[in-house]
Structure 1
């Protein structure tokens, strides 16, 4: 039974620049750079028939237009109990439209609606036992975040192993976007 999600790949040069933020944070389990991505829609564990339906349905979204993404800041999920450090993305109408189209398409394919609000980001580290003070100090000491831009020419269907998270992720199918 595959565990699937859709997302955007992070180019190697951008991943390298993000990797320079690694280190110096107690309780951080840093994500390998080859597993950096922007999740569009978590699908979850599905049977092979549903996986095939999802893959076929997503093909209809490849008429979406290519666009660019801009990473602008560090952030954290979890508030007083931090659970993930991420690089945040500047608000982007094209990205929001693509994600909404994924949500609609996957609901039509019979999947339950996503309950979490879409917050586009690249997870840099999973956190365990990291205090809010530790994360605030880390972000303050990380220095100015120089924005990172990249062009998005496709989205992909990823699979992952049933694990704690953080990869390895495999591209099962890619869907080019219109130029």
Structure 2
């Protein structure tokens, strides 16, 4: 059974910028820069039939390319931090694309995602990092800003069952090619 999810890839020049955030955090298992991405919808372990249905449903997405930027860093897990990440700057186009993925996955028969969508790029998974160590790491790197980059496609990734962090394989790529509607003046 493949473990699959949809995501926006991070271009190499932005991934290179993210590598400067590595280090300085005991207990961190850093994600390989080639595996950086912005998850749109985690689908999980599914059989081949459901994976095929997901891939077919994603073919119906018709959206225009859009600009993204990463800014600042954060963590998940509160008092027991489990990951540090780079934030994605607010983007209505990204939120709309993610919401469409959520609707499509429910049409395939998947349960709704239970968590609020927080667009991010995971930098490291944490094992034994204290909340104090994470707070120090975040305060030292909080001013991080990437250059803007254009999301011109999203992908359907698969991964082997593991603790996370890849390696990820692009199963299918879906170009963002729609022409934006003209705005009324």
User: Do the structures match in fold with TM over 0.5?
Assistant: yes
Report what 1:16 is aligned to.
16
Q: Which residue of 2 aligns with 1:57?
A: 57
1:111 alignment counterpart: 110
The aligned counterpart of 1:155 is 154
1:135 maps to what in 2? 134
Aligned length: 178
Aligned to 1:163, the other structure's residue is in SS state coil
**C-alpha offsets along residues 35-87 of structure 1, whole Å, 9 cap, x if unaligned?**
000000000011101111100000001x1111011101010001111100000
Listed as ranges, the matches of 1:82-121 within 5 Å are 82-121=81-120
In the alignment, which residue of structure 1 is the partner of 2:32? 32
**Cα-to-partner distance string for 1:123-167 (whole Å, 9 max, x where unaligned):** 000011111110111122236313332100000000000000000
Identify unmatched segments of 5+ residues in structure 2: 180-185
Query: Could you tell me how far 1:24 is from its partner in structure 2?
Result: 1.1
- CA–CA separation in structure 1 for the residues paired with 2:106 and 2:142: 41
Question: Is the deviation greater in 82-91 or in 139-148?
Answer: 139-148
Q: TM-score, normalised by structure 2?
A: 0.94
CA distance in 1, matches of 2:145, 2:167: 27
**Residue 145 in structure 1 maps to residue 144 in structure 2:** yes
Shift of residue 90 of structure 1? Answer: 1.2
Matched, 1:177 2:176: yes
Distance 1:142 1:39 in 2: 22
Alignment-derived partner of residue 72 in structure 1: 71
- Residue 140 of structure 1 aligns to a residue in which SS? helix
Calculate the aligned-residue CA RMSD, in Å: 1.0
- Contact kept, 8 Å, 1:72 with 1:148, in 2: the verdict is no
Is the partner of 1:166 in helix, strand or coil?
A: coil
Structure 1 stretches of 4+ with a deviation exceeding 6 A read: none
